[in-house]
Amino acid sequence: MLAMNYRGPYRVRADRNRPDPEILHPRDAIVRVTRSCICGSDLHLYHGLVPDTRVGMTFGHEFTGVVVELGSEVTNLHVGDHVLVPFNIACGTCPFCQQELYGNCHESNPEATAVGGIFGYSHTAGGYDGGQAEYVRVPYADIGPTVIPPGMDLDDAALLTDVTPTGYQAAEMGGIQKGDTVVVFGAGPIGLMAARCSWLFGAGRVIIIDHIDYRLEFAKQYAQCEAYNFVKDMDDPVVFIKKTTDFFGADVCIDAVGCEASGSALQTITGRKLMLQAGSATALQWAINSVKKGGIVSIVGVYGPTWNLVPIGNVVNKGITIRANQASVKRLLPRLIEHVMAGRLNPKGLITHRVPLEEVADAYHIFSAKRDNCIKPMLIPNQAPVAA
Amino acid sequence: MENLADTLLADKSKTIEGWGIDADPNNNPTYPMKHYTGADHQRLAYERSKQQMPREEILHSNERPGITRVFGTSSPPSGLSGHLRRYAFRFSEGSSAHWLTLLMADRVNVVEGLLDDLRHGHVPNLFKEHGWSAEWRYNRPGVIRKVAVGAVIATAVVTLLMLRSKRRKSQVL
């Protein structure tokens, strides 16, 4: 089959000779992929920043597809069902899944205990091949995959597998109260969705901070929020946020950037160039310093598993609550499907590039180098249907 | 439904004065991600799925007793990078030796991947794999600038080396 094949940092190819996936467990399904996105977090893999990313792996954790084969224990799906597949691989029975922490499943990732299994996200997340392929093996298919509701746009469905729930949960974890000022660091797809979702929780003001003008312009339209360039509009983002909140601090800060943040030479050199820490924690540092005393910092940006330079003393002294997790997609899907079907959320509005799977290398480069005003690229395998 | 944690810990209230009197299930920073049921106290005594049979080597964290009930089968460890990965998994996830060895293995694996391609008669198209055709399409001036700078640096290095070699020859003579 045709699938993306990782060959090393900044090198991937579309490979026609990848083996077809097989049923390896009675709760598996095989899905023929119809839509697959490249996530901002895939770029951390693409840039070689995630340990145990092995050559030959297929990435991709945001996809929809048609069920073509089922294991003997999967009774809630049928061959031919068109499903959206949450990025979390979750058993549904471990104590964490029982309590709806589907992103923290204890039975899907042998290689690391700190993260549950994720499709196509290195062996640190379980060693599963992902959905940037014609076919994919879906473990625990009786738990994660959800039949796409009639009338839902296929592109919306694909974005309900990660970016929408992650953005929504970023806002949810912020504990936003009506009238709160929410600052979102990062105007990538997750940051844009977090900003949009902050309004659903009653934010009084939503500010997004980035350094890429086209993304900030997009944010103003898409998330109807204030958008500022931390290079051009201010000397120091922390002072800027303090000033704009009557020297109080934001009620809620959301880190939607993660380990590849720009803005601090020290963080960039030690985190991204020398890899002396698990990426550059500039956005998190700004979030901690910009939030009010007793405020909440919500983290959905992806960091590596080692360590980062963050002002933990300020967390203590300001009495900040830090909330973070991988999105629990299955928990959030019912509510998010309602929002999408009612037109309150428009996930597909994030997609700027639709690229054939055969051109996956170009798609990665365009997204990584931020060419052609790229916000979110979607890969479309040959012969994929237009609608669900 | 009775809270499992309360069931398991019921005896504590008989022996410890005031045990659990101020406990508040809502005082939990993981809510609403986590709907607390006390299931954490089951530890590993939960209903587990059938075991996926390993057909290749699966490394597992030493912070868990064995492999999980399902696992991915992409790219099993092999070659020198495989040796490094096996070594890395002797250390816990809290250890830098674990992660830095894995990063080193990843870099070695890239070279192994190139050699493997060549062994199978496949010469990788580095231009295509890097997505440089997209760079040419969307950032042509940038590509030309980079090539020009590269050419100037290469010319300078070659010229310097040639001058040095000439000087050495003239010294020998």
Claim to verify: residue A13 and residue A53 sit in the same structural domain: yes
Beta-carbon separation of A107 and B49 below 8 A: yes
- Interface check for B108 against chain A (CB to CB < 8 A): the answer is no
Task: Tell me, yes or no, if B5 comes closer than 8 A to chain A by beta carbon.
Answer: no
Is residue A378 within 8 Å of A354, Cβ to Cβ?
yes
Considering the domain architecture, whether residues A247 and A196 belong to the same structural domain is answered as yes
Question: With contacts defined as CB-CB under 8 Å, which chain A residues touch B67?
Answer: 110
Give, for A380, the enclosing helix (H) or strand (E): strand A377-380
User: Could you tell me if residue A348 is inside a domain?
Assistant: yes
Q: How many domains does chain A have?
A: 2
Question: Contact A365/B134 with Cβ under 8 angstroms?
Answer: yes
User: Is the residue at A307 inside a domain?
Assistant: yes
Answer yes or no: do A156 and A193 share one domain. no
**pLDDT, tens digit (0-9, with 9 covering 90-100), for B42-93:** 888 899 999 999 999 999 999 999 999 999 999 999 999 999 999 999 999 9
**What is the reported pLDDT for A118?**
98
A113 and A174 belong to one structural domain: no
Residue A98 lies in a domain: yes
Picking from B49, B66, B113, the nearest residue to A55 by CB comes out as B113
pLDDT of B17: 83
Please list, in sequence order, all residues whose beta carbon lies within 8 angstroms of the beta carbon of residue B120, skipping any fewer than 6 positions away: none
CB distance A318 to A293 below 8 Å: yes
Q: Is residue A387 part of a domain?
A: no
Q: What is the pLDDT of residues A6-65, one digit of tens each?
A: 999 999 999 999 999 999 999 999 999 999 999 999 999 999 999 999 999 999 999 999
The domain boundary, picked from A285, A305, A324, lies at A324
Q: Do B99 and A306 touch (CB under 8 A)?
A: yes
Confirm or reject contact between A356 and chain B (CB < 8 A).
Answer: no
> pLDDT for A263-277, tens place per residue?
999 999 999 888 889
A119 touches A38 (CB < 8 A): no
Q: Is B7 on the interface with A (CB under 8 A)?
A: no
Interface residue A373 vs chain B (CB under 8 A): no
Q: Residue A258: CA atoms inside 13 Å, Cβ hemisphere, count?
A: 24
Listed residues A324, A341, A359: the one ending a domain = A324
Query: Hey, what are A274's tokens?
Result: 């020398």
Residues A215 and A314 placed together within one structural domain of the fold: yes
- Burial of B1-23, coded b for 16+ CB within 10 Å and e otherwise, reads eeebbeeebeeeeeeeeeeeeee
| Whether B99 and A53 lie within 8 Å, measured CB to CB | no
* Residues A179, A317 share a domain: yes
Q: Are residues A98 and A25 in the same domain?
A: yes
Higher per-residue confidence, B168 vs A58: A58
- CATH number of the CATH domain containing A170: 3.40.50.720
User: A174 pLDDT exceeds 90?
Assistant: yes
Dihedral sign, Cα of residue A166, residue A170, residue A176, residue A179: negative
Residue from B114, B71, B83, B96 nearest A124 by CA: B71
Compute φ and ψ for A381, nearest 5 degrees: -65, 155
B-chain CB neighbours of A323 within 8 Å are 29-30
A270, A296 in Cβ contact below 8 A?
Answer: no
Q: What's the pLDDT score for residue A386?
A: 64
Question: Is residue A221 domain-shared with residue A145, that is, in the same domain?
Answer: no
Of the candidates B66, B69, B110, which has its C-beta nearest A55's C-beta?
B110
Considering chain A, what is the average pLDDT of its residues?
96
Do both A171 and A157 map to the same domain? no
pLDDT score of B3 more than 60: no
| Location of structure tokens 């180098």 | A369
- The answer on A153 and A10 residing in a single domain is yes
Where does a domain end: A324, A350, A366? Answer: A324
Q: Are A64 and A34 in contact (CB under 8 A)?
A: yes
Q: What is the pLDDT of residues B103-157, one digit of tens each?
A: 999 999 999 999 999 999 999 999 999 999 999 999 999 999 999 999 999 999 9
| Parent domain of A237 | 163-324
Exposed/middle/buried for A105, CB within 10 Å: 0-12, 13-18, 19+? buried
Q: What is the mean pLDDT of residues A92-120?
A: 96
Residues A182 and A303 in one domain: yes
Listed residue (A154, A133, A136) closest to A381, CA to CA: A133
What is the average pLDDT across A212-226? 97
A201 in contact with chain B, both atoms CB, cutoff 8 A: no
**pLDDT of B1 over the 50 cut:** no
The CA distance from A105 to A62, in Å, is 18
d(CA A380, CA A358): 9
For residue range A315-326, list pLDDT tens digits in order.
Answer: 999 999 999 999
The CATH number covering residue A71 comes to 3.90.180.10
A82: buried, middle or exposed (CB in 10 Å: 19+, 13-18, 0-12)?
buried
> Which residue ranges make up each domain of chain B?
1-47, 58-124, 132-172
Q: Does one domain contain both A319 and A176?
A: yes
Per-residue tokens: A191: 């940051």
The answer to whether residue A386 is domain-embedded is no
